[in-house]
Amino acid sequence: MSIHQQLSTIIGHDILIDIKRTLTLKTITIKVKGGRVIIKVPFFINNNLIEQLVNEKLSWIKKQLNIQSKFLPFEKKLYVNDEKFLYLGKYYKLKILKNKKYSVNIEGDFLQVNVKNELNILKVKKLLKEWFHEKAFIYFKKETHNYAKINNLKINSVKVREYKARWGSCSNKGDISFNWRLIMAPPKIIEYVIIHELMHIKEHNHSPKYWNYVKSLYPNINEAKEWLMYNGQTLNI
């Protein structure tokens, strides 16, 4: 059993709170997502206690709301002509052409998709995703090996994956993987992620020593982190 309610004003602060009460919960949790504050509470917790908790967490809540207000929204793609798609930090207009052979390529400022049926949106989306995957693998493999060679680092493999909440990873064996969506970011942002993962070969943690390695090769760490934080969700198709 569960019930939803909203508190539109908490102790004089105009913050919309979505509250979910349920019999199965034993603790209170607060989450800020999509510019909303969501609180899950045990069923019989009263509003006074919730208001007290919100006041205690108010600074954190406001900080998260402020950060999320700067996020660029992801607009769901329609896969129609002239719709914009990112590739290596640049926007290209989609051009769907009828053709006997399936293919995707860049022609000037256009991302051109050749398909037998221009109205087959699912096929257009599939072709685009395959193209982005292929381009991501080629680019990441080349750049990662180049940086590894320059810095005398040995890597085992480079792969692209379907990650939901990370841009890359590095295993103890030197297997490095990247989120295929990263190919949409500007080259300087991709460079940061590549260096970030490569430095895990030296230090498989996020210790001060590790960050010193990263900073020696990429001084503008915070700028890259902020770019990914605010723009990351736009890197999608």
Q: How far apart are CA 183 and CA 179, in angstroms?
A: 8
Fold annotation for 121-234: Zincin-like (3.30.2010)
Query: Which pLDDT band, with edges at 50, 70 and 90, does 12 fall under?
Result: very low
What is the reported pTM? 0.74
Strand partners, 40: 20, 29
Q: Going edge to edge, which strands form the sheet with 2-7?
A: 2-7, 17-22, 36-42, 29-33
Q: How far apart are CA 209 and CA 199, in angstroms?
A: 10
For residue 165, the model assigns a pLDDT of 86
Q: Is 33 helix (H, G, I), strand (E, B) or coil?
A: strand
Query: Which pLDDT band, with edges at 50, 70 and 90, does 34 fall under?
Result: low
Both tokens assigned to 135 = 């381009």
Do residues 104 and 127 make contact, with C-beta atoms less than 8 angstroms apart?
yes
92-112 pLDDT, tens per residue? 999 999 999 999 999 999 999
Query: Which of the residue ranges 18-22, 115-119, 153-157, 218-222 would you say has the lowest mean pLDDT?
Result: 18-22
Average pLDDT, the chain: 89
159-190 pLDDT, tens per residue? 999 998 899 999 999 999 999 999 999 999 99
For residue 13, the model assigns a pLDDT of 56
Q: Is the pLDDT of residue 11 over 60?
A: no
Torsion of CA 77, 83, 85, 89, to 10 degrees: -130
Q: Domain extents for the chain?
A: 2-69, 121-234
